[in-house]
A and B are shown apart, each in its own frame.
Chain A
Amino acid sequence: MSPAEAPSTGGAHMSTVDASRAPERREARRYLLLLLPAVLVLLALFVYPLLGIVDRSVYTPRAGYTLEFYARIWRVPVYLTVIWRTFQISALVTLLCLTLGYPLAYLLATLRPRVAQLLMIVVILPFFTSIIVRTYAWMVLLGRNGVVNQSMTWLGLIDAPLALLYNQGGVLIGMTYVLLPYMVLTIYSVMRGIEPGLIRAAHSLGASRAQAFRRVFLPLSLPGIAGGTLLVFILSLGFFITPALMGGPGDVMIAMLIEREVEFTLNWSFASALAVILLVLTLIGFVGYNRIVRLERIFEARG
């Protein structure tokens, strides 16, 4: 309640206000009760282990509390290089997903419902198979004697097989493929919410198809672009299997480093420090992105 609305005199006034608020408070309590199971699960399975990781990154039974592991990340150049590369690859994958995904989502949103449904199944189908199987499938396609190289040689387009695998190109192809549906579905859901009457209105006011798209449809689909790019970028940062299988020695990403520390060197404290750095950088990225794109304002504008 703003000060202007608050009654300046009279206790009776106040008591009626309080009485009218009581049911509201009861309703709020009911919502909290509904949230409780999810909150408990998150506390037990997410927050508690996360705190454990943070703790382990600054503590070893032998040396007690120490910042040694963070200092090492800063001191040894390869770790910063890998972190920088992780962000670079993630940004490229996000850009590729947006370039491929936006037109696809537009097609899905504007096609007749029956045709759109069929196409949608095609988009979602990959989710039903394991990511490892899909990554191996790409390796079969892109390998030195893979389907792509063989057919291009047969067509006379190339003399020697192209190196499509075990380099950054391979990583980008594989990750874009896996993450594209997330981009498409996020943008599509926003596009479906755009009232077709608005495009009609734009036409009736003299806008050509291109003008109606640029001035009405595109701005209204921005929340989808914002959400899709954010989702894909964050998923990319922690990607492991695809870069591990399709990348070369020069395409190591941070998740692979963490895995190496856990599996081979058994330096869990250092692995924890790397994980914390990844988390913090992701959060910084999120906040910065939020500053630029103003997520909450875009999402609010839809209502």
Chain B
Amino acid sequence: MQDVSVTIDPGSFFTLLGPSGSGKTTTLMMVAGFAYPTRGEVFVDGAPVAGLPPQKRDLGMVFQSYAVFPHLTVFDNIAFPLQIRHVRRAEIRQRVGEALELVRLRGYDGRLPRQLSGGEQQRVALARALVFRPRVLLMDEPLGALDKKLRAHMQLELKHIQRHLHVTVIYVTHDQEEALTMSDRVAVMQRGRIEQVGPPAELYEAPASRFVADFLGESNFVDGVVTGASVDGRWLVRAAGGLEFQGVGAVPLHAGQAVTAAIRPEKLVPLDAGGAAPGGSVNTCKGTVDEAIYVGDATRYRVALGGDGALTVKVPNRLGLRQHAEGEAVALAWSPEETRIFPRSDA
């Protein structure tokens, strides 16, 4: 772990996103107090906390395993942090009631955890972590064990609760879709470092590295060499197979540099024979449809470019947009604005 430095705005939803082993959970555990940094400091509300044990940090935490106490009823589970803080009995009853209301478990007070489904246990864990009004709510892949439908539902609910309470959330996940859906800002982590921090749209549209472009969503990667700068500040790139296009540099580049360009499949637009390129599209290429896969909301094409491999193209299934048959020759257009160029690390 090194160089992990971020500031999180109060009341915002912040996500640590990365593959397993990227250090996202370790980072969260350092904030929570279950792991100690060898160097560096953790600040909460401007006060250093790295020397404090977890129970003195006043941070709510929701674990992947729920960690609901199996010997206590739902009521006693949620009342636990309040009893520890010697809150008066009447107030405990009121606040637990509010928390149950919040996670929509009214009437579940007397049940034991083993009588609850996974989703319900997760709600109990959430209510328990919120009931003492912690300064920050930490969540470690809390939805990892739920099935897909329930997960999507819980994502929206979590987001509503977070907005409603204005609580600061630090969320850990390896699910990029989850990160994009819920977060105000996302930090993409890899090998113990933060690759990029920003709002979801910025990470998706303007990834700072090849890793981010690959990990978040889907990208076509084309290797090439910088041949020069165009008039409007774009870089000209020539791929090995002869394909030439323009794009935006993620970092300052120079002529002759080996680079990789990333283009999202949905940014590539097939041109009908004789049709004009949409506004802003300057880059074009020609190819043959190798494969057409209907996926419901869209059709995915694999377009072979001859010398430069193949591109994946995603076209929404909308009235008026023609389907292309396998074997059909097709021309593609895309905007230089939507072409990100990274220095090639292996060159």
A-B contact count (CB 8 A): 64
Given A206-B84, A216-B69, A220-B70, A201–B55 Cβ distance below 8 Å? no
**Cβ distance A132 to chain B, nearest Cβ, rounded Å:** 43
Cβ-neighbour of B69 out of A198, A208, A302 (below 8 A): A198
Closest B residue to A205 using CB positions: B81
Q: How far is the CA of A201 from the CA of B80 in the complex (A)?
A: 11
A204 lies within 8 A of B32 (CB)? yes
Q: Which of A246-303 contact B (CB under 8 A)?
A: 301-303
A203 lies within 8 A of B71 (CB)? no
Q: Which of B66-116 contact A (CB under 8 A)?
A: 67-71, 80-81, 84-85, 112, 114
For B, the interface residue count at a CB cutoff of 8 angstroms equals: 28
B71 lies within 8 A of A220 (CB)? yes
B54 an interface residue at 8 Å Cβ cutoff?
yes
B256 an interface residue at 8 Å Cβ cutoff?
no
**A-contact 0/1 string along B51-74, CB 8 Å cutoff:** 001110011110101011111000
B70 lies within 8 A of A200 (CB)? no
A207 an interface residue at 8 Å Cβ cutoff?
yes
Given A220-B70, A301-B70, A202–B80 Cβ distance below 8 Å? yes
- Residues of chain A with a CB closer than 8 A to B70's CB: 198, 220, 301-302
**B-contact 0/1 string along A198-228, CB 8 Å cutoff:** 1011111111100100011001100000000
A201 lies within 8 A of B63 (CB)? yes
Cβ-neighbour of A206 out of B32, B63, B112, B132 (below 8 A): B132
- Residues of chain B with a CB closer than 8 A to A205's CB: 55, 60, 80-81, 84, 128-129, 132
Q: How far is the CA of A197 from the CA of B34 in the complex (A)?
A: 11
Q: How far is the CA of A215 from the CA of B33 in the complex (A)?
A: 21
- Residues of chain A with a CB closer than 8 A to B53's CB: 203
Instruction: Indicate the size class of the contact surface on chain A.
Output: 20 to 34
A206 lies within 8 A of B67 (CB)? no
B80 lies within 8 A of A204 (CB)? no
Q: How far is the CA of A200 from the CA of B32 in the complex (A)?
A: 10
**B-contact 0/1 string along A175-208, CB 8 Å cutoff:** 0000000000000000000010110111111111
**Cβ distance B184 to chain A, nearest Cβ, rounded Å:** 23
**Cβ distance A151 to chain B, nearest Cβ, rounded Å:** 43
**Cβ distance A191 to chain B, nearest Cβ, rounded Å:** 14
A204 lies within 8 A of B59 (CB)? yes
Q: Which of B109-146 contact A (CB under 8 A)?
A: 112, 114, 125, 128-129, 132, 138
- Residues of chain A with a CB closer than 8 A to B112's CB: 301
- Residues of chain B with a CB closer than 8 A to A201's CB: 61, 63, 67-69, 125
- Residues of chain A with a CB closer than 8 A to B132's CB: 205-206
A208 lies within 8 A of B55 (CB)? yes
**Cβ distance B139 to chain A, nearest Cβ, rounded Å:** 11
Residues of A participating in the B interface, judged by any CB pair closer than 8 Å: 195, 197-198, 200-208, 211, 215-216, 219-220, 301-303
What 4 A-B pairs are tightest by C-beta distance, nearest first? Answer: A201-B67, A204-B61, A205-B81, A203-B54
8 new A-B pairs (CB below 8 Å) besides A198-B67, A201-B69? A195-B67, A197-B65, A200-B54, A204-B59, A204-B138, A205-B128, A206-B85, A207-B80
Could you name 10 residue pairs across A and B whose Cβ atoms are closer than 8 Å? Answer: A197-B63, A198-B70, A200-B67, A201-B63, A203-B33, A204-B60, A205-B55, A205-B129, A216-B71, A220-B71
